[in-house]
Amino acid sequence: MATEITKILKKRKSVILERWMKNQLTDETLREDLISNEELRAESEELIDILTKSLNETNLTDPDSSDFDHVIEILGGISLSRAKQGFSPRETGLYVMSLKETLLQILQEEVKDPADLIAATLNLSRLIDNFSIITFETFIKGREEVILRQTDEITEISTPVIRVWDGILALPIIGTLDSARTQVVMESLLTEIVESGSSVAILDISGVPTVDSLVAQHLLKTVSATRLMGAECVISGIRPEIAQTIVHLGIDLSDIVTKASLASALSFAFATLKVEVKKVAR
């Protein structure tokens, strides 16, 4: 190649940073509320530093070269943190794209021969575009992580196993019971049964909006697993409309003990454990 564009870029590193910063700061999508100008500058400077360091004439045409691992790492870090801070995809994307604009401007000023300029522009575009894609991918990954963490939190807080009495556990289920949820319910219930040595578990479904055949199957599985462990499982909180659906769908729950309210399930549990609760006359 006649003109060594990597040399140009290295030489004008500070100019690139200044212009890029100017571009970013004048952009109307700048999120000063989420990131301070100093932070943004430090981030940008680090990126340009590493980029100019890793760039040479051979890897310029090879965006997949491992020379860029460090650049990608930094970009990944930036977009991950942006995803978590609540930047929009557009704002995150523009960050890399405004760098491309700046770089191309510099090339335009430095490279005189039109053929060279086109070649250099193409190569640089391809490289930076690849970086943009990576930025987007990591951005989405960052968002996914947030979602996954929230899902985990929801599953965790939605299956509280309560020791209501010595030997009696209760687990109120709120929300839909899908197979992933059933697994979590079963796991926490059975573990708690072992830990507390309980013989009766009450599964309260007052908070389950609908019971279809799939949900019923999940309930049956939970009951069977509890029985395999050697404990009894009672299902309580069956609302009248749920009783109707169960019968209309032809679901057979005759093998399991069902109670209308948590209170009656509890008195069943007392009876099983041969515990008597009575009012004391004073």
Least Å from the CB of residue 141 to other proteins: 7
The first and second tokens of residue 154, run together, are: 């929801």
CB of 165 to other proteins, least distance (A): 16
Q: Is residue 218 within 8 Å of residue 250, measured between CB atoms?
A: no
Please, are residues 117 and 31 in contact by the beta-carbon 8 Å criterion? Answer: no
**Which residues share a beta bridge with 174?**
207
- How near is the Cβ of 72 to other proteins at its closest, in Å? 6
CB-nearer residue toward other proteins: 133 or 263: 133
User: Least CB distance from residue 60 to other proteins, whole Å?
Assistant: 17
CB nearer to other proteins: give 10 or 221: 221
Closer residue to other proteins (CB): 193 or 242: 193
Is 225 buried (19+), middle (13-18) or exposed (0-12) by CB count in 10 A?
middle
Choice between 185 and 265, CB closer to other proteins: 185
Give the residue among 183, 184, 186 at the shortest CA–CA distance from 169.
Answer: 186
Smallest gap from Cβ 64 to other proteins, in A, equals 7
Residues that bind other proteins (CB under 8 A): 64, 72-73, 76, 134, 137-138, 141, 144, 183, 186-187, 190-191, 193-194, 197-199, 221, 224-231
- Whole-angstrom distance, CA of residue 196 vs CA of residue 167: 7
Neighbours of 47 (CB within 10 A): 21
Element (H, E) at 234: strand 232-236
DSSP assignment of 60-127? GG-TT-GGGHHHHHHHHHHHHHHHHHT--HHHHHHHHHHHHHHHHHHHHHH--SHHHHHHHHHHHHHH
Nearer to other proteins, 191 or 213 (CB): 191
**Smallest distance, Å, CB 164 to other proteins?**
17
Smaller CB distance to other proteins: residue 60 or 185? Answer: 185
Q: Are 29 and 144 in contact (CB under 8 A)?
A: no
Query: How many whole angstroms separate alpha carbon 111 and alpha carbon 119?
Result: 10
Enter the DSSP assignment of 175: S
* Shortest CB 217 distance to other proteins, Å: 11
Which is nearer to other proteins, 147 or 249 (by Cβ)? 147
